Structure 1
Amino acid sequence: MSGVRVLVDATCVSADRGGVGRYVDGLLAALARTPDELSLSVVCQRTDADRYLALVPGAEVIAAPTAVSHRPARLAWEQTGLPILAQQLNVDVLHSPFYTSPLRSSCPLTVTIHDATFFTERDHYDKARGTFFRSAIKTSLRRAARVIVPSKATSDELVRLLDADPSIVDVAYHGVDPAAFHRPNSAEIERVSARLGLAGVGYIAFLGVMEPRKNVPNLVRGWAAAVADRPNPPALVLAGGAGHDDAIDEAVAAVPAHLKVVRPGYLRPTDLPGYLGGALIAAYPSHGEGFGLPVLEAMACGTPVLTTPRLSLPEVGGDAVVYTGEDSETIAKDLSELLADDQRRAKLSILGTERARDFTWDASARVHLETWRRAAGKGD
């Protein structure tokens, strides 16, 4: 196959390494294993330059101006400095991994659109953010030579809602790095439990940004109802970045005094296997996802998962997770039944680990490579 020269804009990756960061890092590490098929350049924030030099040996790593650490400046540089850089590097394709891309470019553009919930779940986003991303998605569909999405559900939604051309949309499932997400040993579990103040205490784990789409208030209410009368009730841990869902505080304030809610904020990446793998259950009752990376990562850590059958989540969980509703009553019922069934949780642990092996960054990288070849006129 013909090689292709690609510039990946990683300036959108934030220091906390949320879902977008794990996508970009996992993809670039896999692409580093395809040196004969790809000439890769990566532009990133200055604080990430050394990281990518080590992660992607052989790639050309360029540090963007310091100002791009601030979102308005990054978006402005994306329209001006990024196209100039692509032209200077004489690349075949410029890839933008997070919705937005330059309006003008001397080479074909490809864009990753992570989900369509800005259109289907409008009430779960504040007005400014929703308006911005709906406009960005429409623009990217209009301007990009090809579009990458992380699930068939997202592809279907873009076609259904925005009349996207299905022939230019490629599905590249996210992967999971087994070195980063694995069944933890007892020392990893004990270290994280102690840090959370939960040594010797069982807990239900949530991982994600605290935004309305994640349905955290109903999780809090459902968990409280499910465990209130249990001896030694498991705690609920809400890990992840602060969002804009004030209803979470209201739900937590109503939790009975004998139950424990822990809100540690972001956890270090090295703590995630111990956190997820040490949980009795990972609960993720989202209203809708473009992929659902925390579900896959919990499965890889051997944790039974309770989630919803919304949008892409069945593509990720398959028959290896338990599906629940979005209301607190159904969450309470299904969570209670799963807590009471040790044998079922043990079976889900095995099924989840096996299914997680099917999602690799190497497979995702192969789809990205073919997308870039097609965009450059070098593919099938």
Structure 2
Amino acid sequence: MPALRVLLDATAVPAARGGVGRYVEELAAVLQHEVELVIACQRRDREVFTARAPRAELAVLPGWADPRPVRLLWEQFGLPLVARRLRVDVIHSPHYTMPLLAGRPVAVTLHDALFFSDREWHTGLKARFFRSWIKLSLRRAAVCVVDSAATGDELVRLAGADRDQLVVAHLGVDPARFHPPSTAEVSAAAASLELDDRGWIAFLATHEPRKNVPALVDGFVRSCTDRPDPPVLVLAGGAGWDTRIDGAIAAVPDHLTVLRPGYLPLSVLSGYLGGATVVAYPSLGEGFGIPVLEGMACGAAVLTTDRLSLPEVGGDAVAYTEPDGPAIGAALDTLLDDPHLRSELAARAVRRAADFTWDGCAQSCLAAYRTAVAGRRGRGIRGRGSRRLGGRRLGSRWRTAGGAG
């Protein structure tokens, strides 16, 4: 059987690497060994994909198409031309949008349904844009890939998705980058943040409203105000657009410390997450929750909420809290006061995180491509059984072909 020829559209990856960028890079690194892979990318990412996927063929976006509105036009007209010229069998559009006149099957990744369920978290134009594109992709794509069963459920409930059109491909974690850190790695992370010998509570994500940072700051104050040797709260990640955070930090008592270091290099993340006393991620909702998985892989005691996909990722290997400040404070008290519980959670977390691999994610995507090419829309993808994740039995309603499912 000839190898499947796949065009992975990486042109939507932003310069500041976040979850989508990591998703595309990791998929490319695995898929290059499974298919004849072509990667469409922007000029700035040529070296990145040459290093991450040296077996792949690159189709580099012309320089005039770098601005986002022009790139979206190129996606509609230029990408199909590339697909035709390079004779690919299927296009994978990994971030909601897709070429509507592609001339061949398209698989689209829909990372969450939060543009429908929680409209107030997004700016008006952005929310309308992505709601429209999600509905278009659900109608026009041969198959849609979702990061979690929870996201699939939400798309069925809120966007009228056909359940059999959706393929669950759990995201993965790279153990070379995210692992229980050595003492030297913890020391290097602490030094980079100038923490000296102080312990810390770690947060890692873009500071957008659904990440619930003001409530975390409130919970931190409630838990740590009267502690004789309080940890530092470190809010790492992009500045985002949550305008409430500055006010929350301004109300923190002077003897407590909150740091906002911005983006941290990948090289220090294992030490930062695994060296933290607690990794706190009290999100109001996620399509997957990769910071939770990365904290687990680093052997951290992770505190999160039970909203949407987060229990699907964390299972019984993380602690859960309601998302308000008093509840977060009480949960932090429990974890900070109980080193045995933290150690038990850390051990469970490492074991569970090992089930979520990028190879598994890629295998699910590969099964989706094959379904798209075969035109078997509506028949689903049979997976490896009905393993329970976070209390949800996937096999009864969702079919997966890789990952932890």
TM-score band, normalised by shorter chain: over 0.9
Greater CA drift, 167-176 or 193-202: 193-202
* Secondary structure in structure 1 of the residue aligned to 2:360: helix
Looking at structure 2, the residues matched to 68 and 185 of structure 1 have their Cα atoms a distance apart, in angstroms, of 44
Asked if 1:233 is matched to 2:230, the reply is yes
Which digits, 9 at most, give the CA deviation of each residue in 1:92-127, with x for residues without a partner? Answer: 111100011112111111100000011111111121
Asked if 1:305 is matched to 2:302, the reply is yes
Greater CA drift, 246-255 or 69-78: 69-78
8 Å contact kept, 2:205–2:291: yes
Which digits, 9 at most, give the CA deviation of each residue in 1:164-209, with x for residues without a partner? Answer: 1111100000000000101111221111211111121111111111
Please show how residues 1-380 of structure 1 align to structure 2 within 5 Å: 3-34=3-34, 38-377=35-374
Which digits, 9 at most, give the CA deviation of each residue in 1:254-275, with x for residues without a partner? Answer: 1111110110111111121111
The root-mean-square deviation of aligned C-alpha atoms, in Å, is: 1.3
8 Å contact kept, 1:49–1:62: no
- Output the TM-score relative to the length of structure 2: 0.91
Looking at structure 2, the residues matched to 172 and 268 of structure 1 have their Cα atoms a distance apart, in angstroms, of 27
Which digits, 9 at most, give the CA deviation of each residue in 1:209-241, with x for residues without a partner? Answer: 111011111001111111111011001111111
Cα distance, 1:69 vs. partner?
Answer: 3.8
Which digits, 9 at most, give the CA deviation of each residue in 1:300-358, with x for residues without a partner? Answer: 00011000000000010000000000110100001111110000000111000000000
Greater CA drift, 1-10 or 106-115: 1-10
* Secondary structure in structure 2 of the residue aligned to 1:101: coil
Q: Which runs of 5+ in 1 are unaligned?
A: none
Q: What percent identity do the matched residue pairs reach? A: 54
Greater CA drift, 55-64 or 293-302: 55-64
Cα distance, 1:16 vs. partner?
Answer: 2.5
1:7 partner letter: L
Q: Which runs of 5+ in 2 are unaligned?
A: 382-405
8 Å contact kept, 1:112–1:148: yes
* Secondary structure in structure 2 of the residue aligned to 1:141: helix
Cα distance, 1:68 vs. partner?
Answer: 4.2
- Output the TM-score relative to the length of structure 1: 0.97
Cα distance, 1:135 vs. partner?
Answer: 1.0
8 Å contact kept, 2:216–2:282: yes
1:69 to 1:273, Cα distance in 2 relative to 1, 3 A: farther
Looking at structure 1, the residues matched to 301 and 21 of structure 2 have their Cα atoms a distance apart, in angstroms, of 25
Aligned length: 377
After TM superposition, the runs of 4+ consecutive aligned structure 1 residues lying more than 4 A away are none
8 Å contact kept, 2:10–2:24: yes
Looking at structure 1, the residues matched to 215 and 192 of structure 2 have their Cα atoms a distance apart, in angstroms, of 26
1:63 to 1:318, Cα distance in 2 relative to 1, 3 A: same
* Secondary structure in structure 1 of the residue aligned to 2:150: helix
* Secondary structure in structure 1 of the residue aligned to 2:97: coil
